[in-house]
Amino acid sequence: MITLNNISKNFGSFKALKNIDLEVRDGEFLALLGPSGSGKTTLLRIIAGLAFPDAGNVAFNGDDVTNLKVADRKVGFVFQHYALFKHMSVADNVGFGLSVRARAMRPSKAAIRARADELLDLVQLGGLGGRYPAQLSGGQRQRVALARALAVEPQLLLLDEPFGALDAKVRKELRRWLRQLHEQMGLTSIFVTHDQEEALELADRVVVMDHGVIEQIGTPGEVYMLPGSRFVSGFVGDTNSLPVTVSRGAVKFHDRPIALDTGSIADGPALLDFRPHDVEIANEQPGCLPLVVTGAYRRGGYWRVEGTVGGISQVIEVDLDAANPAPEPGQRLALRIRRGRLFTTDGVQA
Amino acid sequence: MGLTLAWLSLIVLIPLSTVFIRAAGLGVSEFIEVGFSSRAIAAYKVSFGTALAAALVNAVFGMVVAWVFVRYEFPGKRIFDALIDLPFALPTAVAGIALTAIYAGNGWVGQFLEPLGIKVAYNPIGITIALIFIGLPFIVRSVEPVLADLSAEVEEAALSLGATPVQVFVRIILPSILPALLTGFALALARGVGEYGSVIFIAGNMPFKSEIAPLLIVTQLEQYSYAGATAIAVVMLLISFAMLLFINLAQAWSRRRVDA
Amino acid sequence: MTIRSTHTTASIGLTVVALAFLGIFVALPLVTVFVEALSKGIAPYFSALVDPDAVSAIKLTLTVAAIAVPLNIVFGIAAAWAIAKFDFPGKSILITFIDLPFSVSPVVAGLVYMLLFGMQGWFGPWLREHDFQIIFAVPGIVLATVFVTFPFVARELIPLMQEQGRDDEEAALSLGASGFQTFLRVTLPNIRWGLLYGVLLCNARAMGEFGAVSVVSGHLRGLTNTMPLHVEILYNEYNFVAAFAVASLLALLALVTLVLKSILEWRLGYAHRSAGH
């Protein structure tokens, strides 16, 4: 188990991380998700021992490793741009970690080579050990980087934007493959990403970060369905956000009542967030949102409809079942919001 | 296109070829007599020996300088950075008299070295120092961009795999910058072998001891011995070409895998 | 934290070594020039500079640069243009030939013109019959200077023009511009900073060249003495203050060159640096 306790890190006057507490369970696949500048990569580097916190400590299985160098932490790190050694063959890259061990602990050259070949088979690059990194495709380089990190038998695998430099198709394939590999090996793994789709698809749990703090920790389902803050709601998945007012248990948008449970939110201005697919067409009736269609296109099994509500300035997107006739520009639709979440204007959940 | 070739031929190619044509006209025995006289051989040894020594010193310290300027921040960095190029911009004669003033027996530094039995000026050591001055920017400016391109990630990757800092340098950094280092080394060496202005003041120019080959060419010309000057020039050019060819091959070998 | 403190020790140590090396081998000679030049005070310094021989050396150096630099600009642009915008066999050999003067000793550069135009040279007798002097005269000095400064502009422009490709020019031509208009309004603005950079280095070398010029000049005071040659003569006459005074002007030229070079590098982007002179 990895335990982070009250970690803070500043770069000059910039506060990269503020009092981070986090526990990573054995064998889990954890995603650190956030926009650039959220501190996710810094946090990963602190776990690796490539950066050191200004305050707080890091423990692996109860042992304090805060002051331990990266070489002594037994972590495998896969870098965003792979950081392969260009002047070494693929097999030498993979065997590097074994070949730099002190003589007493270093396996023979043949054993290192055998281990490298074994790992290259594991990452489906068998037979390519004699190539040089420049002769490989992006996806292949990524897998070499992974094999190299696994060669030292780390107790923890850390991946920084593992798919960031790949094109969309390769990215999708590699994602599925990595998920399988994780299930096969059961190695505790943490990866950093700014792509919410990637985090939701791959991870057992997602840590959503922004401005150096953790906004929410939860399973992909929890983070998507029950966003803990306005930020999470907006960052994870598509979201519409409407300025509303709450008074005496009723939600109003432009003086029009919206049928929704207000929960415990105080009276006053608030934000109403709802996903595009959390609406349905209703007959004109109290509690509905009137939408003027500006455009629509087919997206798989549904219509993605763009339109305005309450005047031209407020644009929203909703998904309607493809069984409906194609919405025409100018058409008026009455929408009922099936599921929405209210936040105070400073982003805290009601 | 035509203009380019014509002008290139007129200024560079035809004049240079005259050296070889004149040398060919000398006849073998005369060529060997003047081109490989004991004085000429001594001069080649001085020229190539000091150029090699200076290039080696520069390879080590130039690498340190390049490393420091790529990796660290310190006050006055921009000024020092511009200073690295001074040997490109300072006329060689100016460098020559300044170095002599520093290292002569009564000079700024020389007066402290002489009591210790170290004679720098009028000695191959002095020539080497002048060539260190001339050659430094070649190494630094060749290595710098490659070091800058070498991402910190690569070093971190090696560290995360358990390598010690020494292993990182020997197994990761050095092989990566080796082609560039060889380029800089070759440039510094070629320049050092042919260097004249900065050397003649500090060298003392004693035949068989501190006389460089380019000076011997000038001496021959002053004695109206065009044949001698030509033969020495041809021998110098041939040795230089051979050395550069060797370094180019070594470079191609070390670069082949990186750029494969 | 132990790791970070050792890191700092190593970095401070290396920085000290690098700066000490630069200080001793590069900065110290520069400082020496000015200290020696002013060692007897201001008056001898300036009297050395207004000496008629010094003045004529300064004039000659400026004249030679004023001829050699424009010649190399024209050639450099033409060569870079030909290499970057057209495909032809033997291109890489041509580039190698352009670089040749960098790998030839300046003394050999002087020698080749002696062999062509000197008394015992191929054209020597003919030139003497027609009362036309190249060696031990200004034309020889200009020729030797053009030779040693030959590659500066071209090698600066070749990568720049190659990188820019032909798209801009083709766009201009397709819009009805003439070839000359295209060059003046599209090509030239694109390469102006690189051109300036090459000219700067070319000029510094042209004014400072010693070896090649020394061979062909004949060292005639007041007639064929450039500034660097004048420095040598004064130094060999043990007139150190005067030698360093003239040298200090050349050192100032070098400093101005370095400042302008830094500014241009900043304009061209940090990545732009050439290692080949």
Q: What is the pLDDT of residues C94-142, one digit of tens each?
A: 888 888 888 889 999 999 998 888 777 777 777 777 777 788 888 899 9
Cβ neighbors of C6 (< 8 A, separation 6 or more) are: none
Q: Tell me the mean pLDDT in the region A223-249.
A: 88
> Residue A171 has what pLDDT?
85
Amino acid at A5: N
Provide, as residue numbers in chain A, all residues whose Cβ is less than 8 Å from the Cβ of B158.
85, 96, 100
Q: Are strands A268-274 and A302-308 parallel, antiparallel or unpaired?
A: unpaired
Between CA C202 and CA C147 the distance in angstroms is 11
Contact present, B159 and C177 (Cβ < 8 Å): no
Sequence-distant contacts of A285-289: CB under 8 A, at least 24 apart: A285/A334, A286/A257, A286/A259, A287/A257, A287/A258, A287/A259, A287/A260, A287/A336, A288/A258, A288/A259, A288/A334, A288/A335, A288/A336, A289/A253, A289/A256, A289/A258, A289/A334, A289/A335, A289/A336, A289/A337
> Residue C218 has what pLDDT?
79
- At B81, is the pLDDT very low, low, confident or very high (cuts 50, 70, 90)? very high
DSSP class of residue A213 equals: E
Maximum C-alpha span of chain C: 84
> Residue C32 has what pLDDT?
94
pLDDT digits (tens, 9 = 90+) for A65-119: 999 988 889 899 999 888 999 889 999 999 999 999 988 889 999 999 999 999 9
Between CA B204 and CA B187 the distance in angstroms is 25
> Residue C275 has what pLDDT?
43
pTM: 0.80
Contact present, A60 and A190 (Cβ < 8 Å): no
Q: Whose CA is closest to C15, among B148, B177, B73?
A: B73
Nearest to B259 among A80, A83, A134 (CB): A134
The C-alpha angle C120, C124, C125, rounded to 5 degrees, equals 95
Q: Is the pLDDT of residue C4 over 60?
A: no
DSSP class of residue A349 equals: B
> Residue B258 has what pLDDT?
56
Q: What ipTM does the predicted assembly reach? A: 0.86
Q: Which of A62-76, C58-72, C143-157, C212-226 has the lowest mean pLDDT?
A: C212-226
pLDDT digits (tens, 9 = 90+) for C167-214: 888 888 888 787 788 888 888 888 888 899 899 999 999 999 999 999
Nearest to C107 among B64, B93, B196 (CB): B196
Q: Whose CA is closest to B63, among B135, B158, B134, B128?
A: B135
Q: Is the pLDDT of residue A4 over 70?
A: yes
- At B120, is the pLDDT very low, low, confident or very high (cuts 50, 70, 90)? confident
Report how far apart, in Å, the C-alpha atoms of B238 and of each of A300, B216, B241 are: 73, 16, 5
DSSP class of residue A163 equals: T
Between CA C58 and CA C20 the distance in angstroms is 35
- At B138, is the pLDDT very low, low, confident or very high (cuts 50, 70, 90)? very high
Question: A90-99 vs A109-122: helix axis angle to the nearest 10?
Answer: 120
Average pLDDT, rounded, for chain B? 89
CB-CB neighbours of A42 under 10 Å: 23
C-beta atoms of A67 and C3 within 8 A: yes
The C-alpha angle A234, A240, A244, rounded to 5 degrees, equals 105
CB-CB neighbours of A262 under 10 Å: 18
Search chain A and give the residue with CA nearest B172.
A85
Distance from CA of B20 to the nearest CA of C (A): 10
Interface test with B, best of C12, C26, C156 (most B CBs within 10 A): C26
> Residue A30 has what pLDDT?
96
C-beta atoms of B175 and A148 within 8 A: no
Q: Is the pLDDT of residue C276 over 60?
A: no
Between CA A83 and CA C218 the distance in angstroms is 60
Q: Which of A100-104, A300-304, B114-118 has the lowest mean pLDDT?
A: B114-118
Contact present, A275 and A238 (Cβ < 8 Å): yes
C-beta atoms of C250 and B90 within 8 A: yes
Q: Is the pLDDT of residue A12 over 80?
A: yes
Q: Whose CA is closest to A33, among A183, A185, A179, A201?
A: A201
Q: Which chains touch A (3 or more CB pairs under 8 A)?
A: B, C
Judge whether C43 is closer than 8 Å to chain A, CB to CB.
no
C-beta atoms of A149 and B158 within 8 A: no
- Residue C239 region by backbone torsions, left for phi larger than 0, else alpha for psi between -120 and 50, else beta: beta
N residues, chain A: 350
Between CA A170 and CA A141 the distance in angstroms is 12
C-beta atoms of C273 and B99 within 8 A: no
Q: Is the pLDDT of residue C146 over 90?
A: yes
User: Which single residue is written with the structure tokens 């063959």?
Assistant: A89
Distance from CA of A201 to the nearest CA of B (A): 27
Q: Is the pLDDT of residue C1 over 50?
A: no
Contact present, C60 and C224 (Cβ < 8 Å): yes
> Residue C10 has what pLDDT?
82
User: Which single residue is written with the structure tokens 């004695």?
Assistant: B223
Q: Is the pLDDT of residue C270 over 60?
A: no
Out of A250-259, C47-56, C183-192, the most confident range is: C47-56
Q: What percent of chain A shows pLDDT beyond 90?
A: 50
Q: Tell me the mean pLDDT in the region A21-46.
A: 94
> Residue A173 has what pLDDT?
85
Between CA C207 and CA C63 the distance in angstroms is 9
- Residue A268 region by backbone torsions, left for phi larger than 0, else alpha for psi between -120 and 50, else beta: left
Instruction: Give DSSP secondary structure letters for C116-142.
Output: HHSTTSSSHHHHHHTT---TTSHHHHH
Provide, as residue numbers in chain A, all residues whose Cβ is less than 8 Å from the Cβ of B161.
71, 96-97, 100, 148-149, 151-152
Search chain A and give the residue with CA nearest C7.
A69
> Residue C182 has what pLDDT?
83
Interface test with A, best of B160, B176, B254, B257 (most A CBs within 10 A): B160
Judge whether C5 is closer than 8 Å to chain A, CB to CB.
no
Instruction: Give DSSP secondary structure letters for A142-153.
Output: HHHHHHHHHHT-
Q: Which of A15-19, A205-209, C10-14 has the lowest mean pLDDT?
A: C10-14
Amino acid at B14: I
Distance from first CA to last CA of chain C, Å, rounded? 45
Q: What's the sign of the alpha-carbon dihedral A236, A239, A244, A248?
A: negative
Judge whether C3 is closer than 8 Å to chain A, CB to CB.
yes
> Residue C163 has what pLDDT?
79
User: Which single residue is written with the structure tokens 């003046």?
Assistant: C184
Q: What 3 state SS string does C182-245 have?
A: HHHHHHHHHHHHHHHHHHHHHHHHHHHCCHHHHHHHCCCCCCCCCHHHHHHHHHHCCCHHHHHH
The three-class DSSP label of residue B188 is helix
Chain B positions touching chain A (beta carbons under 8 Å): 151, 153-154, 156-164, 167, 171-172, 175-176, 257-260
Question: B174-194 vs C91-103: helix axis angle to the nearest 10?
Answer: 60
Distance from CA of C5 to the nearest CA of A (A): 12
Provide, as residue numbers in chain C, all residues whose Cβ is less than 8 Å from the Cβ of B61.
17-18, 21
DSSP class of residue A348 equals: B
Written as six digits, the tokens of B244 are 């550069």
Written as six digits, the tokens of A348 are 């805290």
Q: Which residues pair with A305 in a beta bridge?
A: A296, A318
> Residue C5 has what pLDDT?
39
Interface test with A, best of C3, C5, C6, C8 (most A CBs within 10 A): C3
CB-CB neighbours of C82 under 10 Å: 20
pLDDT digits (tens, 9 = 90+) for B162-194: 999 899 999 999 998 998 999 899 889 989 999
C-beta atoms of B160 and A96 within 8 A: no
Q: Which chains touch B (3 or more CB pairs under 8 A)?
A: A, C
Search chain B and give the residue with CA nearest A152.
B161
